[in-house]
Amino acid sequence: QVQLVESGGGSVQAGDSLRLSCAASGRILSGYTMGWFRQAPGKERQFVGGISGSGSSTLYEDSVKGRFTISRDNGKNTVYLQMNSLKPEDTAVYYCAAVRSWSRVVDSYYQYDYGGQGTQVTVSS
């Protein structure tokens, strides 16, 4: 079992930055592909980006490319989502998820084995 806990959310102004963290316990994250997803009220959960278990591959949703960066620190068993130049449309609950995979980043939440409870990000204009 892998337990995931997101943190770092908050309320910011457009143009600000936030760094979300996803801390894992129960298993070492090395070898797990990690994904970040978000869900706004009334909308489906959306893939934001992911990083492969090896750390060598990343994948981002088009609207966040160039603004968001995913990284991982296997020594701390933590994955990060650095969000810059935030926009009001980034407002959502952000979730991290894990699936055992070394090289492939998947963009469907239903392909992940574990997920966290989410952290709220609110961006005002």
Q: What is the predicted pLDDT for the residue at 2? A: 87
Query: What does the alpha-carbon distance between residue 97 and residue 35 come to, in Å, rounded to a whole number?
Result: 5
Q: Is the pLDDT of residue 27 over 80?
A: no
Q: What is the predicted pLDDT for the residue at 83? A: 98
Query: What does the alpha-carbon distance between residue 10 and residue 19 come to, in Å, rounded to a whole number?
Result: 10
pLDDT tens, residue by residue, 82-111: 999 999 999 999 999 999 998 889 999 999
pLDDT-derived band at 52 (thresholds 50, 70, 90) equals very high
Query: What does the alpha-carbon distance between residue 18 and residue 16 come to, in Å, rounded to a whole number?
Result: 7
| Residue 109 in tokens | 């939440």
